[in-house]
Structure 1
Amino acid sequence: MISEHYKRQLMKEAKQLDVALGQASELGKLVQEITDEQIDKAALEFIKKLGILTKNQTLASMEQKQEKVIETLYKYLGASKVDGLIQDLKESSNVSLDALLNQLDELVGLEDVKQQVRDLIDFNQIQQLRVKNGLKKSNKTMHMAFLGNPGTAKTTVARIVGRMYKAIGLLSRGQFVEASRTDLIAEYQGQTAIKVKRLINRAKGGVLFIDEAYSLTENDHSDSYGRESLTELTKALEDYRNDLVVIVAGYTDLMDQFFESNPGLKSRFNTFISFNDYSLDELVQIFSYTCIQNDYVAEDQAIKKVRELLQTILNEQDDHFSNGRLVRNLFDDITVNQSKRLSKLTGHITKESLMLITKEDVPQDGELVFIEQ
């Protein structure tokens, strides 16, 4: 149950802001609609309206009122809830298809994945054109399964796909909602279905991304809560197929087992995309991009040493290689080493020194701290 105390406080402050803005209690009405049953939808509309009404206001008194309302909203719903809703708004903002295709193309490797995504866009645009011309369209669902090891950009591609579908008119909002077992299964009997419904309501109009989906039934078919979650999820896949994309993801072998044990669920998915492990050259390229994105410059000898280290790790990899995640962890190791090296210097440390990664910063294989396989 949401706190009634903070709801009353939020209502009071929202009405005061309405008066100051000359609005007919629009914010106040939206606060009234924020209930346990429709918290995400109503709160999202409240945040959106608050931004629209106040974005052009420059008076200090108005800014103070707005800040007070936002502060109370955080107390009312909690920081994680409000931050998640704000992220939903960002995800659902309008971006052109061409811009999103460029984002897809900029990803390292994944050529087969990129082609499959382009094929999906082409297919769906033609289906829309058929409908406009009075022809029947395909009955395929939009739901997908992304198969592959961690760190292969499955989450990133899922975000882009959602926004692409929004750009071509398949989805009404295009927001991205990420979920795991804990988001889909409750602690008490009878609560799981309610939890799944709330998550679906938040994701409608966009993408629901379920990572490690096989964890829902990880206890050899004995997890009754997991079964309850899957039953509700399977129903939603059909009920909201026209304005919801559910993408399940995880290790290829475990996802295969998951679908084999849930044939009714598998039939709701028409698209299966495999994300292959990165090659050595691609891993080095990801490392270089990570440096650039974080305002670092790696000297040539450092890049050479990174390549040699990654080659050693590749030679020892198992079936569940962590790919880009490994590169990110290696980057963290290197920046820690760089900080330790710079802290020993005397005198002024230049901007160039703060940016430079040297071969001394790259750890030996046995010195890795953050890397986990």
Structure 2
Amino acid sequence: MISEHYKRQLIKEARQIDVSLGQTSDFEKLVQEITDEQIDRAVLELIKNLGILTKKNSLPRMEQKQEKVVEILYKYLGASKVDGLYQNLKDSSNVSLDKLLNQLDELVGLENVKQQIRNLIDYNQIQQLREKNGLKKPDKTLHMAFLGNPGTAKTTVARIVGRMFKAIGLLNKGHFIETSRTDLIGEYQGQTAIKVKRLINRAKGGVLFIDEAYSITENDRSDSYGRESLTELTKALEDYRDDLVVIVAGYTNLMEHFFDSNPGLKSRFNTFITFSDYSLDELVRIFIYTCNQNDYFAEDQAIEKVRDLLHTKLNEKDDHFSNGRLVRNLFDNITLNQSKRLSKLTGHFAKESLMLITKEDVPQDDGLFSIE
């Protein structure tokens, strides 16, 4: 297998660096943590330590050695994985609680959600003060369940919560790992427990977000792997409760079935937050916010046409309705139509023309979910 090839190359290169430095197994140990235990921290530490050696000129041709190891690392883990680790590191860097609360407040709607998150932060800050003063601390976990339909900002809120918990000292890192059934269940007997343990190991110190968590147990009568995954996950919820937040999310009714599938599972979660569907006014506000975030400006007639389209979709509200994602699809189609309109014009484009969205750019209803 190609991954095994790159694994052997990584170990070989790390071992050569250790030998050249006259040390036992510092770099090789980091590589073993990456390849055998899938510890994300080890990836960043390996690259960091290689960079330190390069700056110090500790070894001949150290820069080339560093480039070779990083190149193999990208091939072994995949560019998206390595880049994602850097993004997680950036996202979980020290950000003040006030700034994170402002980010929460900037989200359209979700007033009930915002208030529950604020209450949760207030509660945990007071419990920390009680503990510092020698008072008893209630035995409650930080794990949560986010209930509601797709496109209601559950993932966005989960990211903010992780960084908030880091800001107040409840989590060591505050990083965010999003996962699904595929990441939690193995293909063969015995793989599932290993996959879950590795995932938990990666998530420690931060947030593990499991969207559509009910998919783990959707075939609970015949799916022994799903039951094994849930058993391991339930154990981890208790074992690592002091430096791990697991947030499960999905449709309200299906999540009820999920919690009923394993005795003791629901008791591991102390916070249940319901994300309501957006109203028409909120969907329009999301569209305007998306325009502003991407340096577009929609004229009033365009906004009214958008409102009419969204009103139609709200009235239909079938299985394809997806809240904020529907607005994103609409925005993408509108900006494509704007580009098509402008490309037919000649001459110099003023900055304002490149930003302006007109009513002609707003598609008809049948073009909302597809790019023409």
**Shared fold, TM over 0.5:** yes
Report the counterpart of residue 187 of structure 1 in structure 2. 187
Query: Is the contact between residue 145 and residue 269 of structure 1 (CA under 8 Å) also seen in structure 2?
Result: yes
1:196-225 superposed Cα distances (whole Å, 9 cap, x missing partner): 000000000100000000000112532111
* Structure 2 CA distance for partners of 1:90 and 1:50, relative to 1, 3 Å: farther
Q: Secondary structure at the match of 1:307?
A: helix
Indicate which of 3, 10, 25 corresponds to 1:7.
Answer: 10
Q: Within 2, Cα distance between the matches of 1:293 and 1:24?
A: 51
Q: Within 2, Cα distance between the matches of 1:32 and 1:88?
A: 22
* Structure 2 CA distance for partners of 1:225 and 1:32, relative to 1, 3 Å: closer
Report the counterpart of residue 90 of structure 1 in structure 2. 90
Q: Within 1, Cα distance between the matches of 2:17 and 2:95?
A: 31
Letter in 2 for 1:344: K
Q: Secondary structure at the match of 1:345?
A: coil
Q: Secondary structure at the match of 2:265?
A: helix
* Structure 2 CA distance for partners of 1:15 and 1:357, relative to 1, 3 Å: farther
Matches within 5 A, 1:1-373: 2=4, 3-8=6-11, 10-11=13-14, 30-31=30-31, 33-50=33-50, 67-318=67-318, 321-370=321-370
Query: Is the contact between residue 94 and residue 167 of structure 1 (CA under 8 Å) also seen in structure 2?
Result: yes
Letter in 2 for 1:182: T
* Structure 2 CA distance for partners of 1:323 and 1:43, relative to 1, 3 Å: same
* Structure 2 CA distance for partners of 1:65 and 1:363, relative to 1, 3 Å: same
* Structure 2 CA distance for partners of 1:367 and 1:79, relative to 1, 3 Å: closer
* Structure 2 CA distance for partners of 1:189 and 1:62, relative to 1, 3 Å: closer
Q: Secondary structure at the match of 2:36?
A: coil
Q: Secondary structure at the match of 1:196?
A: helix
Q: Within 1, Cα distance between the matches of 2:158 and 2:48?
A: 24
- Stretches of structure 2 lacking an aligned partner (at least 5 in a row): none
Query: Is the contact between residue 299 and residue 356 of structure 2 (CA under 8 Å) also seen in structure 1?
Result: yes
Q: How many equivalent pairs are there?
A: 365
CA positional deviation for 1:297: 1.3
Letter in 1 for 2:340: K
CA positional deviation for 1:6: 2.6
Q: Within 1, Cα distance between the matches of 2:148 and 2:41?
A: 33
CA positional deviation for 1:68: 4.4
1:15-47 superposed Cα distances (whole Å, 9 cap, x missing partner): 69x97xxx9996566345534124434223224
CA positional deviation for 1:348: 3.0
Q: Within 1, Cα distance between the matches of 2:30 and 2:220?
A: 45
Letter in 2 for 1:138: P
Query: Is the contact between residue 13 and residue 68 of structure 1 (CA under 8 Å) also seen in structure 2?
Result: no
CA positional deviation for 1:75: 2.1
* Structure 2 CA distance for partners of 1:29 and 1:239, relative to 1, 3 Å: closer
When structure 1 is superposed on structure 2, of 90-99 and 300-309 the one drifting more is 90-99
Q: Secondary structure at the match of 1:267?
A: helix
CA positional deviation for 1:10: 4.2
Superposition CA RMSD, Å: 2.8
Q: Within 1, Cα distance between the matches of 2:154 and 2:160?
A: 10
CA positional deviation for 1:289: 1.0
- Stretches of structure 1 lacking an aligned partner (at least 5 in a row): none
Letter in 1 for 2:198: R
Letter in 1 for 2:10: K
Q: Within 1, Cα distance between the matches of 2:158 and 2:52?
A: 28
When structure 1 is superposed on structure 2, of 310-319 and 358-367 the one drifting more is 310-319
1:120-142 superposed Cα distances (whole Å, 9 cap, x missing partner): 11111111111111111010111
CA positional deviation for 1:64: 6.5
CA positional deviation for 1:288: 0.7
CA positional deviation for 1:79: 1.7
CA positional deviation for 1:260: 2.5
When structure 1 is superposed on structure 2, of 362-371 and 241-250 the one drifting more is 362-371
Query: Percent of counterpart pairs with the same letter?
Result: 79
Q: Within 2, Cα distance between the matches of 1:131 and 1:109?
A: 35
Q: Within 1, Cα distance between the matches of 2:165 and 2:55?
A: 28
Q: Within 1, Cα distance between the matches of 2:134 and 2:203?
A: 30
Query: Is the contact between residue 330 and residue 370 of structure 1 (CA under 8 Å) also seen in structure 2?
Result: no
TM norm structure 1:
0.89
Q: Within 1, Cα distance between the matches of 2:9 and 2:366?
A: 53
CA positional deviation for 1:165: 0.6
* Structure 2 CA distance for partners of 1:122 and 1:309, relative to 1, 3 Å: same
Query: Is the contact between residue 6 and residue 76 of structure 1 (CA under 8 Å) also seen in structure 2?
Result: no
